[in-house]
Amino acid sequence: MLAMYRKYRPKTFDDLLGQEHIVEILRNAARQDKFAHAYLFYGPRGSGKTTTARLLAKLINCEKRQTDKSFKQKGESCNACDACVAIDAGQALDIIEIDAATNTGVEEIRDLQEGIRLSPTSFKYKVFIIDEMHMLSKSAFNALLKTLEEPPAHAFFILATTEYEKVPATILSRTQRFHFKKLALAEIIKKLGLIIKSEKLKVSAEALELIAALAEGSLRDAESLLDQITSLDQDVELKDVEKIAGKIGYKKTAALAEFLLSGKLEDSLQYLHEIEQDGYNLVQLNKDLIHYLRRVLTLKMNPNLENLYSKELTKDEVAHLKKHGALLQEQKHIQLLKSLIRAYSEMRYSPFAIVPLEIAIIENLSQP
């Protein structure tokens, strides 16, 4: 049985979420037959780099695009010709994928160089996809550089990395570079909603929002978590996601923040104790709390940030931030935030994770 992230992997550029700026450039390249011989895709995990690399490999080799001038103007692959079908099935000998995390040495790149010289076996072009390419050794980078300087006409390279700053400038200068953005929360929720509908699953809206938030902009992580949670073979509620992920939902974090901002010491400690008794990860709770209060503070200081936060959060969550901004006392609560940050660093290495957090709360809320 296929994992959800593989089963629902995009088959066309239309299906690719959140990277419209990249899609349009690649489509125009297809319309004009102006593909670069080397591309570098960089950005956070799960943002669609490897998926886009496979879509581009399919587009380069699509037989209908090569022979049908009117179809070429769509800037898409047909998904029906032999090349498209073979690439979708992962059976294309001329699409070579290399994981640089496990093939870091110069010998692997030299083997690659030998393979590059050989003509394609089935398609018009060979496409080499090198994932996590920042993991290559220095000697491997040098060997790859020679290949990129003088690639044969039948070869294309698509390099992907999550750590752009580790790629040598000599490699960067020989590639077309595309930055992949984190996906907005609303985009992830929409895609998960389509999967849930297709799979005939029952997941509450609150549970879905937490799954999407836990993914932190990575669609693949969101799909994997949804796959894990729905394997329980029951209707999925918020409490189920919280238990499996060990992380409380946004509403619980907001409730604790409200007690803190209102100066309600007893309520804050009682609520914290209840969360601990339920077995949630208190280090993660404090991290979420810090992020929440930071957003409350920055949104109050700069209301224009609402446009940015609306991409990361739901409308209700943004409304909570604005509501809590009215409770904020800048100097007092900046000091609280500093105390929580200090407590977080202590909690990570303490066998009594709750103690630094309790002390930070008591110190700040017991003062007038």
Residue spans of the domains in the chain: they are: 4-179, 185-245, 250-365
- Which pLDDT score, from 0 to 100, does residue 104 have? 59
Closest CA to 160 of 147, 171, 151: 171
CA distances from 205 to 5, 188, 210 (A): 20, 13, 9
What's the pLDDT score for residue 228? Answer: 85
Over residues 314-341, the mean pLDDT reads 91
Specify the fold of 4-179.
Rossmann fold (3.40.50)
The residue written with tokens 């060997």 in the block is: 143
Confidence class for position 114, pLDDT limits 50, 70, 90? confident
For residues 24-39, b (16+ Cβ closer than 10 Å) or e, as one string? eebbebbeeeebeebb
Confidence of residue 30 (pLDDT cuts 50, 70, 90): very high
Domains 185-245 and 250-365 share a fold: no
Instruction: Say what the pLDDT of residue 90 is.
Output: 84
DSSP 344: H
For the cut 80, the answer to whether the pLDDT of residue 5 exceeds it is: no
Q: What is the CATH number of domain 250-365?
A: 1.20.272.10
Q: What is the architecture, at CATH level 2, of domain 185-245?
A: Orthogonal Bundle (1.10)
261 Cβ neighbours under 8 A, 6+ residues apart? 293, 296, 324, 327, 328, 333
pLDDT, tens digit, 9 for 90 and up, residues 131-163 = 888 888 787 788 788 788 888 888 899 999 999
Residue 271 makes CB contacts below 8 A (sequence gap 6+) with 255, 256, 259
Stretch among 159-168, 227-236, 336-345 having the lowest mean pLDDT: 227-236
H or E element, residue 93? none
Q: What is the DSSP string of 189-238?
A: HHHHHHHHHHHT--B-HHHHHHHHHHTTT-HHHHHHHHHHHHTT-S-B-H
Please state, for a pLDDT cut of 70, what percent of the chain lies above it: 96
pLDDT given at position 279: 80
d(CA 132, CA 108): 14
- Model pLDDT for residues 259-299, shown as the tens digit of each residue: 999 999 999 999 999 988 888 889 989 999 999 999 999 99
